[in-house]
């Protein structure tokens, strides 16, 4: 697939997932989840670049072969992904990492999702994959204002 993407010169989202969709949540294990996910993504970026893919976006794959602890460790360490020199996409919207902590359902997870999206922006996320677009846009606008010079 990488050679086709390279030939077409289209952007590619490279996401980390331990295992397969059928097996990914069966006791995922890491020695150092941040280092291992970064290593996996770096290797993928290298293969994509060798295939001529000009634009790679990286996604740590929250919830894909990761338990609650792994997900929050990755969120706390998002700034470490800057070493990849690629835009960082995160998908935290309505994830179990919100619901398990707050005791909510996916339908009730908007506030928790917005908090985690804001933390992800603080950690360097450039793209948010969301269900609730208006609320995410508002979070981004407020975050950008917070980051702008005084009076801007």
Active site residues: 95, 129
Query: Are 19 and 40 spatial neighbours (Cβ–Cβ below 8 Å)?
Result: no
Query: Are 41 and 58 spatial neighbours (Cβ–Cβ below 8 Å)?
Result: yes
Query: Are 81 and 60 spatial neighbours (Cβ–Cβ below 8 Å)?
Result: yes
Query: Are 80 and 41 spatial neighbours (Cβ–Cβ below 8 Å)?
Result: no
Distance of CA 120 to the CA centre of its chain: 8
CA distance to 31, 37, 53, 97, 124, per residue, from 80 (Å): 16, 11, 23, 20, 9
Nearest partner of 128 among 72, 71, 119, judged by Cα:
119
């Amino acid at each position: 697939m990488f050679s086709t993407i390279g030939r077409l010169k289209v952007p590619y989202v490279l996401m980390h997932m331990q295992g397969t969709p059928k097996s990914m949540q069966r006791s995922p294990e890491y020695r150092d989840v941040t280092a291992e996910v970064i290593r996996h993504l770096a290797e993928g970026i290298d293969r994509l670049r060798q295939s001529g893919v000009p634009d790679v976006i990286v996604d740590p794959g929250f919830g894909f072969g990761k338990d609650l602890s792994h997900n929050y460790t990755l969120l706390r360490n998002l700034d470490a992904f800057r070493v990849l020199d690629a835009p960082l996409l995160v998908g935290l919207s309505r994830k179990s990492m919100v619901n398990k902590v707050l005791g909510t359902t996916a339908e009730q997870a908007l506030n928790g999702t917005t908090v985690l999206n804001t933390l992800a922006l603080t950690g360097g996320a450039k793209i948010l994959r969301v269900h609730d677009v208006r609320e995410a846009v508002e979070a981004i606008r407020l975050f950008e204002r917070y980051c702008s010079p005084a009076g801007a």
